[in-house]
């Protein structure tokens, strides 16, 4: 998660210095993260070593374990790690925290008289800071007050949330130059406690979210866990603590906003009692003094607004895990765009035997792609050790293998069943064939298929030798079926804690699996 190390945290990093990696279209990020776009999170607050969120024109919310921020200069609307760049290019503003109040119910393990001794597990990890001047040019984030949200699942899959931050890109690694955003599936508190241990997870105070290669990390603490619906972001929780970054059975642990919403509102609206906040939505006003304050739209269980995807445009995240065998130089793989025939990713020339390599990439919406793994000697990844590969699409395992001889492939045709590729669709005139979700192939694989399906979908049963004098009323009505109306991939971009909806194919049961071999981790918090 977005946090920092404490004692005895051991991180094993594998560096493939000789591996040739060619990324053609997608740029990899931490634990499935990507660069945030300008204006995507105008309420994000950058502090020294932590994050926060603007919840009213005069106040931002952060994590108590980050420590007292009074007197500190902060950046509201931060998009970059560089403060000057934030002001000049991201329309961010500089403010100072002039009054700091920690949640009186903040609970932790350790000595309260020594801030360095406050160690996880944390509960009610909240604190608020009053600013020297209100921010009226940037939108605030609404806080979730409903204790029944978010649901564990939406449409049968774990509900997706979003977490953001400027923390490290890997456990103990470097920090990014630009704000990162990553989608994380909710994990039930029951499963979370099973993985962390008895009395480590507080219910309802905590909410857990994350997956293998989907997490926050050191330095992200205090940042928001987000659920988006009807183009409105809701603050579901604060980044609090966790063990390691991106481990499959160690999800991030967040403090649930709804459990302390009353205290947050009372402190902002009554204790601070700033003039510019009286009309803020948080204080039950109409937002008159702040034209860009979050609207009062009530959250709904519908997964509306959950199609941001890994690139903010409905893209799908593909994570490729490959563990080499005794002959790593024999292995290689590619990811190809079936629409234009170009490679999205090429990886080869592995040098280290029996080592895990993880490569996350973002596949653009409406893209049919093909993954191909090869072994020059024809024995797959079977020679000694624990060689093998596994593919995850939006957090869900879709393909894995070990003994694939010379070659093995996986094609994502957006719901098409069987092995009917785009070329076969064209050759066999199967444009009207329907996939698992009932959509026609011409819709499910539009980029590749729309051109050669254009005239076929009108009347697939008509004889190709039919007389051209046939009634003209049958054909003109078919053209709309060729437009690329296939639904874009939809995984919600929100974080854990409080209120969420969206769809994801990842399962919380993933967290019950054992740690990957050769991966050690320690607790992290800022």
User: What is the tens place of the pLDDT at every residue in 32-87?
Assistant: 678 999 999 999 999 999 999 999 999 999 999 999 999 999 999 999 999 999 99
Tell me the two tokens of residue 177.
Answer: 């130059």
* 85 sits in which H/E element: helix 83-89
pLDDT for residue 430 = 63
pLDDT by residue (tens digit) across 190-231? 999 999 998 899 999 999 999 888 888 888 999 999 998 777
CA pair distance 442, 428, nearest whole angstrom? 13
Q: What is the pTM of this model?
A: 0.55
Triad 344, 349, 350: Cα angle to 5°: 100
CA pair distance 126, 117, nearest whole angstrom? 17
Please name the residues in contact with 430: beta carbons below 8 A apart, sequence gap of 6 or more: 420, 424, 441
CA-closest candidate to residue 247, choices 4, 51, 7, 523: 523
CA pair distance 331, 353, nearest whole angstrom? 11
Q: Mark the ranges of the chain whose per-residue pLDDT is less than 50.
A: 1-30, 286-307, 415-419, 446-526
Instruction: Give strand ranges (E) for 77-205.
Output: 93-102, 107-109, 119-123, 127-131, 142-143, 153-154, 157-158, 160-165, 180-187
CA pair distance 505, 27, nearest whole angstrom? 22
Tell me the two tokens of residue 292.
Answer: 């860009």
CA pair distance 373, 501, nearest whole angstrom? 35
| Cβ 142 vs Cβ 233: under 8 Å | yes
Query: What is the DSSP track for 234-288?
Result: EEEEEEEEEESSS-TT--EEEEEGGGGHHHHHHIIIIII--GGGTTSGGGT---T
Give CA separation, 117 vs 7, 67, 114, 362, in Å.
Answer: 11, 12, 5, 40
Burial class of residue 223, CB neighbours in 10 A (0-12, 13-18, 19+)? buried
Bridge partners, 370 (sequence order): 336, 411
CA pair distance 396, 214, nearest whole angstrom? 12
pLDDT for residue 330 = 94
Please name the residues in contact with 277: beta carbons below 8 A apart, sequence gap of 6 or more: 56, 57, 58, 59, 134, 268, 269, 283, 285
| Cβ 158 vs Cβ 152: under 8 Å | yes
CA–centroid distance for 403 within its chain: 32
CA pair distance 316, 160, nearest whole angstrom? 13
| Cβ 391 vs Cβ 410: under 8 Å | yes
Alpha helices in 352-493 (DSSP H): 422-428, 441-444, 446-453
Burial class of residue 504, CB neighbours in 10 A (0-12, 13-18, 19+)? buried
Query: What is the DSSP track for 174-234?
Result: PPPSB-EEEEEEEE-HHHHHHHH-TTSS-TTTEEEE-BTTB---TT-TTPEEEEEETTEEE
| Cβ 325 vs Cβ 361: under 8 Å | no
Tell me the two tokens of residue 217.
Answer: 């990390």
Bridge partners, 187 (sequence order): 208
Instruction: State phi, psi for 53 to the nearest 5 degrees.
Output: -145, 135
Tell me the two tokens of residue 198.
Answer: 């008895």
Tell me the two tokens of residue 108.
Answer: 């932790």
User: Hey, CA dihedral for 80, 86, 88, 92, is it positive or negative?
Assistant: positive
| Cβ 43 vs Cβ 141: under 8 Å | yes
Bridge partners, 40 (sequence order): none
Tell me the two tokens of residue 234.
Answer: 């809701």
CA pair distance 46, 76, nearest whole angstrom? 7
Which domains occur in the chain, in start order?
34-270 (2.40.10.10), 312-412 (2.60.60)
CA–centroid distance for 63 within its chain: 21
| Cβ 432 vs Cβ 440: under 8 Å | yes
């Amino acid at each position: 998660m977005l946090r920092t190390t404490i004692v005895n945290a051991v991180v094993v990093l594998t560096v493939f210095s000789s591996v040739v990696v060619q990324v053609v279209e997608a740029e990899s990020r931490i634990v499935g993260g990507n660069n945030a776009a300008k204006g995507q999170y105008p309420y994000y607050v950058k502090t020294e070593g932590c994050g926060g969120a603007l919840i009213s024109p005069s106040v931002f919310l952060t994590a108590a374990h980050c420590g007292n921020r009074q007197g500190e200069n902060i950046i509201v609307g931060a998009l970059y790690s560089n403060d000057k760049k934030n002001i000049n290019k991201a329309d961010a503003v500089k403010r100072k925290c002039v009054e700091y109040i920690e949640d009186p119910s903040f609970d932790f393990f350790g000595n309260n008289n020594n801030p360095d001794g406050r160690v996880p597990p944390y509960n009610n990890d909240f604190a608020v800071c009053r600013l020297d001047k209100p921010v009226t040019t940037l939108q605030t984030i609404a806080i979730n007050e409903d204790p029944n949200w978010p649901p564990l699942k939406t449409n049968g899959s774990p509900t997706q949330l979003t977490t953001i931050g400027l923390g490290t890109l890997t456990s103990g690694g470097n920090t990014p130059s630009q704000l990162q955003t990553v989608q994380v599936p909710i994990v039930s508190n029951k499963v979370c406690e099973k993985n962390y241990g008895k009395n480590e997870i507080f219910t309802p105070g905590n909410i857990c979210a994350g997956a293998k290669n989907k997490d926050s990390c050191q330095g992200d603490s205090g940042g928001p866990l987000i659920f988006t619906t009807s183009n409105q972001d809701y603050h579901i929780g604060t980044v609090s603590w966790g063990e390691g970054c991106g481990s499959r059975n160690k999800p991030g642990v967040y403090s649930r906003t709804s459990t302390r919403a009353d205290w947050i509102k009372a402190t902002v609206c009554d204790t601070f009692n700033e003039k510019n906040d009286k009309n803020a939505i948080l204080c039950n006003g109409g937002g008159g003094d702040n034209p860009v304050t979050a609207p009062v739209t009530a959250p709904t269980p519908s997964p509306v607004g959950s199609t941001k995807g890994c690139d903010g445009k409905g893209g799908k995240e593909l994570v490729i895990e490959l563990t080499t065998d005794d002959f790593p130089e024999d292995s290689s793989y590619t990811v190809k765009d079936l629409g234009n025939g170009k490679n999205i990713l090429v990886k080869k020339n592995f040098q280290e035997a029996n080592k895990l390599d993880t490569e996350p990439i973002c596949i653009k919406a409406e893209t049919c792609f093909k993954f191909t793994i090869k072994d020059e000697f024809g024995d797959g990844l079977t020679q000694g050790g624990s060689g093998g590969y596994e593919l995850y699409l939006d957090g869900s395992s879709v393909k894995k293998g070990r003994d694939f001889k010379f070659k093995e492939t996986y094609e994502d045709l957006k719901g098409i069943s069987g092995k009917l590729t785009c070329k076969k669709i064209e050759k066999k005139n199967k444009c009207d064939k329907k996939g698992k979700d009932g959509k026609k192939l011409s819709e499910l694989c539009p980029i590749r298929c729309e051109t050669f399906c254009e005239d076929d979908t009108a009347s697939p049963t008509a004889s190709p030798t039919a007389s051209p004098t046939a009634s003209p009323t049958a054909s003109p009505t078919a053209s709309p079926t060729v437009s690329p109306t296939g639904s874009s991939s939809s995984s919600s971009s929100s974080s854990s804690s409080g209120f969420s909806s969206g769809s994801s194919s990842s399962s919380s049961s993933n967290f019950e699996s054992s740690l990957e071999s050769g991966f050690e981790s320690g607790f992290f918090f800022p």
